[in-house]
Structure 1
């Protein structure tokens, strides 16, 4: 005990040791395991521990995963497209909501509005996905309403079991995660800056474009990252909204681990996807830093 009383470094190390070990056991160790397994080969129910690049060679040479062919894209580009569209839609829809709550709602009622925004997400994730199947289905709400209005004679079959339905369901599921970071960024804006801009001759539109929107960029970047990263790893929604014939990257990984019993290939797919996501995240972080540096 004397060493802890006399050495600040020893006390700091003792305090940091439990969370460090926790992070190693729950984050670093599983990741290292996945990396190691990705260089192995599946042999029946066991693993051949001989290091090999065969799994990565299959990923980068097969037309299924990355490069695709003349008829269809690879699974990874399609997954990036879906994640990008969901992120774009959620951010575009979330910004007006966050802006309204931040600038037009009475300060005493802002917490109530945020509470109301999160209420739909108290429902089970699976229930919300199945509700979208009811809405977009062959005899669903949309088709029934269009038929009743005389717009169509036969139910549309293109509303469900395609990428559009996946994008719609995912956008609804993740929009709240885009609202909150944008709202926080807007709340941090000094209102006197807006008044100063209007005193200098700016109207509301130019004040928004030249003051409010630039200051909200960190929140927008945060929303992009918070939405994009989990969306590309979502496999439940594509499984339910695309049907048995549709697969995104997360579904491919899940199938390799739980259906095809090919853990090394599943681990390699997971690492390739993780690498792409990290590169996209670093790109947005770099853009945010450069933007903040330019503003300062």
Structure 2
């Protein structure tokens, strides 16, 4: 047994070290860079916390980071809220022989380029795009509708929702919908149907059975969907750059500006480290809270 264990460790050691180097190397470089300073092309390698003090004290950086968390949180809530009914329908109401077809249809958006899907949303949300053309054709009084609903882009009449935080939320919600549907579907598929029947036999209604049995058992899939959507959307760069405009830029866009536009790699690295720390804390807090609510000891 010891020889087999040694042989197994010997076989997996090279690819393991290679994978760790590929992941830890760039991350370590970013962390080290964050403690340096740069004056145009000259990098001062003296360790300092000046970048962190500036990043935490500058209201612009704080506002962009908070905006990124707000947009990502809103995208996560919208995506998971819309994904759960789809996953529930496929799991409980679709014939088992057709579930593979439904999953196949759900993953169709992955067939096209992510950038192409963003450009399609630009066409739909533009001033002369599909959405505004429909509103103009059916002669909906958008200004009155906007004042009644309080929706900012409707209050501007026929001015398009493109280049705003709303466009970023809409585009990201569509792009990450399959990432939320699939883990929730897997969690629902693992639920023993006999537990639902037992709950109904004990007098539970369909609503209480869902709230007291189905939803708690599906919690791991919901938590996974929350994390899968939230973590990458915080650092998304392409979508805010294409459809966000000045009011929809996120922390990744500021990091890109620091590295390439302002030629200040240490500040860009500092913002990246702070964003990773904030996302890590939120992710761990979400997992801890989910375990507490489900009765699992953290």
Q: In structure 2, how many angstroms separate the alpha carbons of the residues matched to 1:246 and 1:206?
A: 40
Report how far residue 19 of structure 1 moved: 3.0
After TM superposition, the structure 1 = structure 2 runs for residues 120-269 of structure 1, keeping only pairs within 5 Å, are: 120-152=109-141, 156-243=158-245, 246-269=248-271
**Higher relative contact order (Cα pairs below 8 Å, separated by 6+ residues):** 2
Partner of 2:48: 52
Report how far residue 22 of structure 1 moved: 1.6
Q: Is 2:71 aligned against 1:82?
A: yes
Q: Is 2:59 aligned against 1:63?
A: yes
Deviations 1:97-147 (A, max 9, x none): 000000011111101100011112311111111111111111111111111
- TM-score scaled to structure 1, two decimals? 0.91
Greater alpha carbon shift after TM alignment, 51-60 vs 236-245? 236-245
Greater alpha carbon shift after TM alignment, 204-213 vs 271-280? 204-213
Report how far residue 242 of structure 1 moved: 1.8
Q: 1:152 to 1:281 in 2, by over 3 A?
A: same
Q: 1:240 to 1:97 in 2, by over 3 A?
A: same
Aligned-partner SS, 2:107: helix
Deviations 1:38-77 (A, max 9, x none): 00111332311111111111101111111xxxxxxx1111
Structure 1 counterpart of 2:20, from 20, 24, 40: 24
Structure 2 counterpart of 1:98, from 70, 80, 87: 87
**5+ residue gaps, structure 2:** 144-156
Deviant stretches of 4+, over 6 Å = none
Partner of 2:34: 38
RMSD between superposed Cα atoms in Å: 1.8
Partner of 1:71: none
Aligned residues: 284
Structure 1 counterpart of 2:6, from 7, 10, 16: 10
